[in-house]
Structure 1
Amino acid sequence: MYPLPIDKWKPTNRWLYKLSLPLALIVWLLPLLAVMLTSVRSSQELMQGNYWGWPKNFSFIENYRTVLVDSPMLHYFWNSCLITFPSVFGAIALSATAGFALATYPFKGNTAILATFVAGNFVPIQILMIPVRDLTLKMGLYNTVEGLIMFHIAFQTGFCTLFLRNFIKELPYELFEAARVEGASEWQLFYQIVLPLIGPALAALAILVFTFVWNDYFWALCLTQGDAAAPITIGVAGLKGQWTTAWNLVSAGSLLAALPSVLMFFAMQKYFIAGLTFGATKG
């Protein structure tokens, strides 16, 4: 029923496993290595067709200085910060309260609301492009940071609520009853008991939402125009020229755009793993 531990495999299978694992890792990392090498190549080498060979002349400082200083990349980066952090906080705050209500209060319509959250996760985002764009135009939120924040909060709340509701549902209901007997209000029950217990789940969810919002390109392209509210994903796409593309600059900008998500994951890796395994065992 369960997979056999590796140390109990046959010697031939263990040898094949140890041989194939580094090869699979190299194949998986090959595109990333290619982007990293391209980001330090000079434009002359790219014009000569040296895409996969070792760079003859490293242009690390020139390429990254061009991206950071000679282009509005820092402006895009600041826009991404203004969009991502409020979106993550707002989505998690709303979903935590909604998940707490759906998990602990057996009110009429509880199941219908939960089914709505579940059904919303199956709606393809592409079919929402036109109505969401029209809605932002009518509300005066098109091409604004506030509009992107409100959209991401609304779009992420459904999944986050379903995620947290299931975690809160696994908590012992006797904790809630004991707190109410002791005279704790519902807000005290939520802030002092529920939130500390679901801390790992909140951390894991924060990483997932941060990664989605920071790396979003589709909705940033649909709901913005120009540079005023465009995030860093639009900025990286803007590094491409009209007639030719400086792939070394695009690669450098892509690495800079991906850096915050990677750093956040490694900084909160233990919380992410704890959140994913939270409630996996009993006792």
Structure 2
Amino acid sequence: MFPTPIEKRSRAAQITYQSLVPLALVMWLMPLIAVALFSIRPGVDFSNGNYWGLPSSFELFTNYGKVFFESDMPRYLWNSVLITVPTVIGAVALSCMTGFALGIYRFRGNLLIFFMFIAGNFVPFQILMVPVRDLTVDAGLYDTKLGLILFHIAFQTGFCTLFMRNFIRALPYELIEAARVEGVKEWRIFWFIVLPLMKPAIAALSVLIFTFIWNDYFWAVVLTQGPDAQPVTAGITSFNSQFVAQYHLMSAGSIVAALPPVAMFFLMQRHFIAGLTLGAVK
């Protein structure tokens, strides 16, 4: 029923597996390696077709210096921080409350409301592009950080509620009943009993949502324009002029933009893994 562990397979199968794993890893990392190499090349290598050969000169400090000091990249990075952090806080806070309500209380329409949260995750966001953009224009939220924050919170709350509701339902319900017998109010049950037990799930969900929002490109292009509100994912395209694409600077900017979510993951790795595996083994 289950695949045989590689340790129990034949020696030929083990050698084949050990040979293919590094190859698969290199193929998976190839785009990242290419971007890293492009970020230290001079712009003339692209016009000369020197994509994979040795760089004609190493422009590591020149390229990254232009990204940081001769462009709006620091401003785009700050915009991403101002958009991502409130979105994570808002989406996680709302999902904790909705997950508690849907996971603890038994009332008519509970499953219907829960399915409505889930259904939003199955709607292709490209379909919503035009109505959402028109709505932001009518509400005066187009090309503003507040508009991106509100719509990211709205779009992420469905997935977050699914995550939190299932996590809360796995908690011992006897704790809730014991608190009610003692006369503890519902909001105190949520704040002092359920919420502390949700810390691993909150940490894991925060890392996921931070990565989703930081790496978002679609809504950043649809709902913003210019350096006043655009996050870093959309700001990287500012290195393209009308006739010339500065791929070396775009690659350097992409590396810079990828560092915060990578750092966030490694800083929260222990909590992230604990949140995803909690309850998997009894």
Q: Which residue of 2 aligns with 1:157?
A: 157
Counterpart of 1:187, as a letter, is W
Q: Secondary structure at the match of 1:126?
A: coil
Q: Which residue of 1 aligns with 2:183?
A: 183
Deviates more, 1:210-219 or 1:54-63: 54-63
How far apart are residue 45 of structure 1 and its match? 2.6
Q: Which residue of 2 aligns with 1:254?
A: 254
TM-score by length of 2: 0.97
Deviations 1:38-81 (A, max 9, x none): 10011233332221012242101110011111110111111110
Q: Which residue of 1 aligns with 2:269?
A: 269
Deviations 1:6-63 (A, max 9, x none): 2111111111101110111111111111110110011233332221012242101110
How far apart are residue 150 of structure 1 and its match? 0.5
Q: Which residue of 1 aligns with 2:68?
A: 68
Q: Which residue of 1 aligns with 2:52?
A: 52
Deviates more, 1:198-207 or 1:89-98: 198-207
Counterpart of 1:36, as a letter, is A
How far apart are residue 108 of structure 1 and its match? 2.2
Separation of aligned partners in 1, 2:117 and 2:68: 41
How far apart are residue 105 of structure 1 and its match? 0.7
For structure 2, the residue ranges without an aligned partner over 5 or more in a row are none
Separation of aligned partners in 2, 1:158 and 1:233: 24
Separation of aligned partners in 1, 2:137 and 2:241: 29
Deviates more, 1:188-197 or 1:32-41: 188-197
Matched length: 282
Q: Secondary structure at the match of 1:202?
A: helix
Q: Secondary structure at the match of 1:121?
A: helix
Separation of aligned partners in 2, 1:151 and 1:62: 38
Separation of aligned partners in 1, 2:271 and 2:54: 38
Deviations 1:210-247 (A, max 9, x none): 11111111111111122211111111011112111111
Separation of aligned partners in 1, 2:199 and 2:69: 39
1:212 pairs with 2:212: yes
TM-score by length of 1: 0.96
1:130 pairs with 2:145: no
How far apart are residue 161 of structure 1 and its match? 0.4
Counterpart of 1:245, as a letter, is A
Deviations 1:129-172 (A, max 9, x none): 11111111111111111111100011100110011101101111
Q: Which residue of 1 aligns with 2:112?
A: 112
Deviates more, 1:54-63 or 1:153-162: 54-63
Separation of aligned partners in 2, 1:55 and 1:181: 72
Q: Which residue of 2 aligns with 1:225?
A: 225
Counterpart of 1:237, as a letter, is T
Q: Which residue of 2 aligns with 1:99?
A: 99
How far apart are residue 183 of structure 1 and its match? 2.8
Q: Which residue of 2 aligns with 1:30?
A: 30
Q: Secondary structure at the match of 1:279?
A: coil
Q: Secondary structure at the match of 2:3?
A: coil
Separation of aligned partners in 1, 2:157 and 2:55: 46
Q: Which residue of 1 aligns with 2:141?
A: 141
Separation of aligned partners in 2, 1:31 and 1:175: 49
Counterpart of 1:153, as a letter, is I
1:18 pairs with 2:46: no
Alignment of structure 1 residues 81-92 onto 2, 5 Å: 81-92=81-92
Separation of aligned partners in 2, 1:146 and 1:246: 31
Q: CA RMSD in A?
A: 1.2
How far apart are residue 4 of structure 1 and its match? 2.0
How far apart are residue 187 of structure 1 and its match? 1.9
Separation of aligned partners in 2, 1:126 and 1:52: 35
Q: Which residue of 1 aligns with 2:194?
A: 194
